């Protein structure tokens, strides 16, 4: 009954086994390891992107901040959803790395719309040198509201950005969950939908700590490497990042782990929907949900051993964020529902 | 015969075992894990510093950059050795995090002297608002030349800095090797010698990737936490950092690993000293040495399978950097000497 | 009929005369000039603040950015109105100088309210290390909507900030106009109302280019000096800034100039109010107004030689920003009204 | 007898008169003024550079920092002389604006040599991603030692930089003095000698406060404008900068003023050379000299009313920096020599 976050789970056995294997003997450092070469091949195949360049870091904030800094000048505006992780949960890391300004674009359920993005684009950069210039677009999939963008939705938004020649970034901390939820291929969800650079998350979905910055256009690859080093994010023993990513992307592990997390999310949502007085703030489409319920439920659930984040709620109500992960079991979900 | 760097070695079995153990079940994220609490206790005991605060990151560059940024204002001068890692091998990370300027202090064998530091302190900050102000001191132990500072040498340098009320940082990427080489205790080498903040390295000495920033004065602890997050260096699954550090500092593992690395360095140096025409650029005091030898040796050694970095040398000579690690064996050393 | 901005006016004769006088002979550079000493005395007297420290720069953006950087850490939130000059018209200068994040606080007519500011304060910094921390408050008087804060309104907002121990800045690019509009004294509008640091504008109100950063708490004075130099804003021939400011604050010149600008604004507003189909977007309280009128008026006015900024408007309507200055005459206003 | 700095002088009458003229009536703000258009034409003619773009700022530190930031990435090395103004007298402004690292290149009399620059170039950027990359070259003319680079000397240095495709900047705070001293044309001293961007100083040579950043390659013009605004260096009433620069470059005023400064420097040097026991630290080639003389001279000179900076000297000696300016008279020089 541990639903606080997918990052309270450990690593999947396959990932841990790969790490142990990678520890054998000597290997070249700073990304020149043999495993890293295989990761690049694997990413290119997985994304049907033979030119893609991959750089690994250990945290999602690092991946996002580096991707943004590499694509937006210091006087640029980064268009992001009002409640994006880059805006609310990274303590200014994107601004620190890029010097740019985040321009918040509203939208229900964690998603900006062509209308809201269009309006933000229209009112930015129209005052010449005085205001920030249009810089880039960053989207998130799965969103912070637990909803999922389809490739078509992403394409509709990137098209608006492309009309201004802006590069597009996708924060894919839960990218595998989004793939599973939509059935889209990695290529459909990214470069085919106008995404130029992806933060491909591993940490929340069964790794110890690894994220890939995937550049579909290799022109920025060297700059990203320099920024990674300058940010202190280049691992000397890079093989311990690449081994995770190799295992993660092999044999569909990433999709199997995400499928479990999503299925448990659906099971939990279905169970909650059957309880009187429970509502969801957002559609439940992947592995994260935001239910609210009658007062008194928190106490009952926590007495039963459930762990999750409480959220502010209307009078007489209580609200929560529940996240399932690759390691959530049916027994966990059912125990939670029973305790409820 | 892999002497390219101590970071081409893997992780010690004890560290890897701890990592596997740490993977069991759920734990709180972002540093609130149970193991991290034990790491703090362990560091405080190890350093006889009951107030010390510990924050973990995955790279030495991150540890140094965060430690420096937390102790030096953007208009400050960071006094460091001319060939310090922070000056030559971190792609401006200290400047990026702090905004400060590195002032290079010369000295033989990787060590500034009271005279050279005194001169640098005297000529800095004397032009009012026009030049950088005196900011902080950073030393390195083991130095980049493979030599070791004694606690007394460190104290003599920090005393000069303290006379100007400057905080003092020690880059201890190879801190355990320095302890073993000198026989000093952790406390003697740090706060008793005037060090306010330490980058305590684990990566090069048998970990996968973990460094501790140890603040002997807890006043800066919250700022360091914020800078770590803003730099993208806060791990969500922090337990995978803390598990490494716990194993590393337990049962004297760190000292045992460093003792092996240093002993193999001495064995190698002794063997090379017996060869005709071999000289060392610096005294060999820990696990890193810079021999030079007659032309033709590179080809012979590499044909035999030896791996190391070549350095520029005088005409007719060749030079190298050889680094031993916790995993270097007597057989490795003897094979190298035989090939020579 | 030049209503584009108060910065299209030149300098008042008294200011230009002072500049010419200041040019006589040699004087010490970098702020050590004799005139600067007198400016400090004058500011202290004018603001009834015997401890205040004054530093001069040439632009309002520099004054704001330096004031903010000196009072907000890089991980802090700067609470400002959604349409504040610092947010919309300074091309990220506040972020560049401070590293901080601007948090936009809404409110009608250019003014945040205790409710909107309270809400922004409440939802910021509640996620520990993950989000930006509460940093500081910045207000603007005259606002970008041409409205004026009373001292009581300012005090109500700074009190909310002070409850979180946040410093408060006032962007007073049109400070004199606000004083004239409210009848408040300089002290009442600033430190008596909780303002810690003021950008005191001279440029828009009859100077060539000078703004004073007034620190009511001198503790930050040296930091501000260092930031000014590091930003390239320290004038070697500072006397040419101090001479402007001395003339500006002497003999009530600043208030006389602002009184003229405000009076012309009122005359213009009154005249427009008498025209059929003219409305104002905001109350006209100082020297800047945002009228809208029937389609076709732009063409008529510009044909008659009127200069001003056009703004977006509802269908069938046209909108404008009209700014009067110290040099606007009754004849200018009346000609505009006649052309209308 | 005011020899402290050329910035203790006021503005030349022609410049002040132009400022007063420019104050008449309204003009467009933020660089769109009519005078600025004429300045651009004038600079292009003066430098025989029909594509050149000119942006004005008020301080030399701003001009240098903006020029550097526009031409060097954050991970780049700026090669400059060990005692360059950008290295010693700008409180980290170049690093603040650019994020880059200054690499100090030694050389006698304020000048790097092809050998010292070649060595610095050779040892930079050779460690892949770990160290800073070669970024740009910045030279100074007149140097901080009061010596002058000939166009051929500049060309020899820029050629080394160009071999690495590095852009070249010239800090011309005393550019006119260098032209007069060498007889070179503006074009010969800049783009014909490989200079891509020039900080063209006006302040020290008879203006109130104006410096031009001259971009011989217009490709970076918009970026420089954005950086200028973001740095708070865009004047709203730009006409008060452009009026100075127009007067300065018109009718050879800048060269006439510099000729007077240089001639007075030579007169002073010649007079001092005739005194027993006086030596010069550097050749006296323009308007700045660094004599040393027997102990006791300081007291005698200052009693007579002479003002200048004292410098450290050998035992039994005293040292000074003496700067002559456009406003130094023969009587000033002769009085100083008499007092000596």
Q: Quick check: A230 and D133 CB within 8 A?
A: no
Q: What is the pLDDT of residues C257-266, one digit of tens each?
A: 999 999 999 9
Q: How far is C68 from chain D (nearest CA, A)?
A: 13
Q: What is the CATH number of the domain that holds A300?
A: 3.90.1150.10
Neighbouring chains of A at 3+ CB pairs under 8 Å are B, C, D
* Inter-chain CB proximity D234 and A30 less than 8 Å: no
Same domain, residue pair D37 and D167: yes
Rounded distance between C-alpha atoms, residue A304 and residue A301, angstroms: 5
Chains touching D (3+ CB pairs < 8 Å): A, B, C
Instruction: Tell me what the pLDDT averaged over chain A comes to.
Output: 97
Q: What pLDDT shows up at residue B334?
A: 97
pLDDT of B310 > 90? The answer is yes
C259/C244 same-domain check: no
A294: enclosing H helix or E strand:
strand A291-294
Facing residues of D212 across strands? D56, D200
**Contact between residue B254 and residue B206 where contact means Cβ atoms under 8 Å apart:** yes
Domain finish residue from B252, B268, B302: B252
pLDDT at A327 over 90: yes
CB–CB contact B131 D101 (8 Å): no
Taking 70 as the pLDDT cut, the residues of chain D under it are none
Cα–Cα distances (Å) from D337 to C243, D1, D259, D273, D321, in that order, read 34, 10, 20, 10, 15
Min distance B122 CA to chain D CA atoms (Å) = 12
From C90, which residue of chain A is nearest by alpha-carbon distance? A130
With H, G, I as helix, E, B as strand and everything else as coil, classify residue A233.
Answer: coil
ω into A53 cis (within 30 of 0): no
Residues C238 and C266 in one domain: no
Give me the half-sphere count of Cα atoms (radius 13 Å) on the Cβ side of residue D79. Answer: 31
Size of interface B-C (CB pairs under 8 A): 32
Given this model, what pLDDT does residue A127 score? 84
Residue A89 covered by a domain: yes
Structural domain count of chain D? 2
| Confidence (pLDDT) at A288 | 98
Domain-terminating residue out of A209, A226, A252: A252
Judge: A127–C75 Cβ closer than 8 Å, yes or no. no
What are the tens digits of pLDDT across the range A241-291? Answer: 999 999 999 999 999 999 999 999 999 999 999 999 999 999 999 999 999
Closest to C19 in 3D by CA, of C232, C327, C291, C246: C246
On chain C, the residues whose CB falls within 8 A of the CB of D64 are 232
pLDDT of residue C90: 95
Positive or negative: CA dihedral A23, A26, A32, A37:
negative
Closest CA to D74 of A5, A70, A240: A70
Provide the pLDDT for residue A125. Answer: 85
- Chains adjacent to B (≥3 CB pairs closer than 8 angstroms): A, C, D
Q: How many CA atoms lie within 13 A of D118 on its CB side?
A: 6
**Same domain membership, residue B326 and residue B234:** no
Residues B211 and B275 in one domain: no
Q: Which domain holds residue B233?
A: 12-252
How far from each other are the two terminal CA atoms of chain B, in whole angstroms? Answer: 11
**Is A3 contained in some domain?**
no
Rounded percentage of chain D residues whose pLDDT exceeds 70: 100
Same domain, D110 and D241: yes
Q: How many angstroms separate the CA of residue C272 from the nearest CA in chain D?
A: 23
C198 and C64 within one domain: yes
- Looking at the domain assignment, is residue B3 inside a domain? no
Nearest in space to D4 (alpha carbons), one of C36, B122, C236: C236
A129 and D226 within 8 Å at the Cβ level: the answer is yes
Contact B127 D89 (CB under 8 A): yes
Q: Which of D75, D91, D102 sits opposite B130 (nearest CB)?
A: D91
Matching residue, tokens 């009190």 = C159
In the numeric block, which tokens belong to residue C31? Answer: 């702020």
Start-end of H helices in A79-238:
85-88, 93-98, 114-123, 151-163, 175-182, 186-189, 221-230
CA B219, B223, B226 angle in degrees (round to 5)? 150
Is B61 part of any domain? Answer: yes
C77 found inside a domain: yes
Rounded distance, CA D167 to CA A117, Å? 38
Contacts of B221 in chain C (CB under 8 A): none
Contacting C with CB below 8 Å, chain B residues are: 30, 73-75, 129-130, 133, 223, 225-230, 234
- Is C92 in Cβ contact with A74 (below 8 Å)? yes
ipTM: 0.97
pLDDT digits (tens, 9 = 90+) for B211-259: 999 999 999 999 999 999 999 999 999 999 999 999 999 999 999 999 9
The DSSP letter of residue C304 is T
Q: β-strands A288-289, A317-323: how paired?
A: antiparallel
User: Is B227–C130 a contact, with Cβ atoms under 8 angstroms apart?
Assistant: no
Whether residue A193 is contained in a domain is answered as yes
In B228-307, DSSP assigns E strands to: 279-280, 288-289, 291-294
Contact (CB<8Å) A75/D226? yes
Percent of chain A at pLDDT > 90 equals 98
Count the Cβ atoms, other than its own, within 10 Å of residue A259: 18
Q: What's phi and psi for A223, nearest 5 deg?
A: -60, -40
Chain D neighbors of C239, CB-CB under 8 A: 10
> Are C26 and C86 within one domain?
yes
- Put simply, the answer to whether A100 touches C92 (Cβ < 8 Å) is yes
**pLDDT of C33 above 90:** yes
Statement to judge: residues B241 and B135 lie in one domain:
yes
Q: What angle do CA C194, C195, C198 make, to 5 degrees?
A: 170
Q: For residue C104, what are the β-bridge partners?
A: C80
Report yes or no on B7 lying in a domain. Answer: no
Distance from CA of B263 to the nearest CA of A (A): 19
D30 and D58 share one domain: yes
Average pLDDT, chain C: 97
Would you state the pLDDT for residue B1? 82
Sheet holding C133-140, edge to edge: C53-57, C211-215, C197-201, C168-172, C133-140, C76-81, C101-105
In the three-class reduction of DSSP (H, G, I as helix; E, B as strand; rest coil), residue B284 is classed as coil
**Chain CA centroid to CA C225, Å:** 21
Residue A1 has pLDDT above 90, yes or no: no
Size of interface A-D (CB pairs under 8 A): 34
Chain D residues with a Cβ under 8 Å from any Cβ in chain A: 30, 73-75, 128-130, 133, 223, 225-230, 234
- State pLDDT tens for residues D93-135: 999 999 999 999 999 999 999 999 999 999 998 889 999 999 9
The answer to whether B232 contacts A59, with C-beta atoms less than 8 Å apart, is yes
D280 and D241 housed in the same domain? no
Q: What does the pLDDT average to over B190-212?
A: 98
**Distance (Å, whole) CA A46 – CA A40:** 10
Rounded CA-CA distance A239/A19 in Å is 8
Rounded Cα distance between A79 and A121, Å, is 8
Asked which of C187, C216, C251 is the last residue of a domain, the reply is C251
Distance CA A74, CA C222 (A): 28
Picking from A4, A11, A26, A98 by the largest number of B CB atoms within 10 A of its own CB, the best residue to mutate is: A26
Contact between D129 and A75 using a beta-carbon 8 Å cutoff: no
Taking the CA of residue D152 and the nearest CA in chain C, the distance in Å comes to 31
pLDDT for D106 equals 98
Q: How far is C230 from chain D (nearest CA, A)?
A: 4
Nearest chain C residue to B223 by CA: give it. C75
With respect to residue D244, please indicate whether it lies within any of the assigned structural domains: yes
In this structure, what CATH number is given to the domain that contains residue A133? 3.40.640.10
Q: Using the 8-state DSSP alphabet, how is residue C132 labeled?
A: P
**Structure confidence at residue C127 as a pLDDT band (50, 70, 90):** confident
Confidence at C29, pLDDT banded by 50, 70, 90: very high
d(CA D241, CA D59): 11
Best of B129, B130, B224 to disrupt the C interface by mutation (most C CBs within 10 Å)? B129
Please give the biggest Cα pair distance in chain B: 61
Residue D126: predicted pLDDT: 83
Contact C26 D2 (CB under 8 A): yes
Cβ-Cβ contacts under 8 Å, A69 against chain B: none
Q: Are residues A215 and A123 in the same domain?
A: yes
């Amino acid at each position: 009954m541990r639903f606080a976050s997918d990052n309270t789970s450990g690593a999947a056995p396959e990932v841990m086994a790969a790490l142990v294997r990678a520890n054998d003997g000597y290997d070249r450092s700073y990304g020149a390891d043999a495993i890293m070469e295989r990761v690049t091949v694997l990413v290119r195949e997985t994304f049907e992107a033979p030119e893609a360049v991959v750089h690994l870091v250990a945290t999602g904030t690092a991946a996002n901040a580096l991707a943004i800094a590499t694509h937006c000048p210091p006087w640029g505006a980064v268009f992001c959803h009002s409640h994006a992780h880059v805006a609310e949960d990274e303590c200014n890391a994107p601004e620190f790395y890029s010097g740019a300004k985040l321009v918040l674009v509203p939208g229900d359920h964690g998603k900006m719309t062509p209308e809201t993005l269009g309006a933000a684009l229209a009112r930015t950069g129209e005052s010449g040198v005085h205001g920030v210039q249009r810089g880039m677009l960053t989207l998130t999939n799965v969103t912070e509201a637990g909803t999922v963008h389809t490739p078509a939705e992403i394409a509709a938004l990137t098209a608006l950005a492309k009309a201004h020649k802006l590069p597009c970034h996708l924060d894919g901390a839960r990218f595998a969950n989004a793939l599973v939820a939509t059935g889209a291929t990695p290529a459909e969800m990214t470069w085919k939908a106008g995404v130029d650079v992806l933060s491909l998350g591993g940490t929340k979905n069964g790794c110890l700590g690894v994220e890939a910055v995937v550049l579909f256009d290799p022109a920025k690859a060297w700059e990203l490497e320099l920024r990674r080093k300058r940010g202190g994010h280049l691992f000397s023993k890079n093989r311990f990042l690449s081994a995770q990513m190799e295992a993660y992307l092999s044999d569909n592990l990433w999709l199997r782990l995400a499928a479990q997390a999503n299925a448990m999310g659906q099971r939990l949502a279905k169970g909650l929907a059957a309880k009187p007085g429970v509502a969801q703030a957002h559609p439940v489409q992947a592995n994260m949900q935001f239910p609210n319920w009658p007062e008194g439920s928190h106490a009952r659930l926590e007495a039963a051993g459930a762990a999750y984040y409480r959220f502010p709620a209307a009078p007489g109500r209580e609200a929560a964020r529940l996240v399932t992960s690759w390691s959530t079991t049916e027994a966990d979900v059912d125990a939670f529902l029973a305790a409820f």
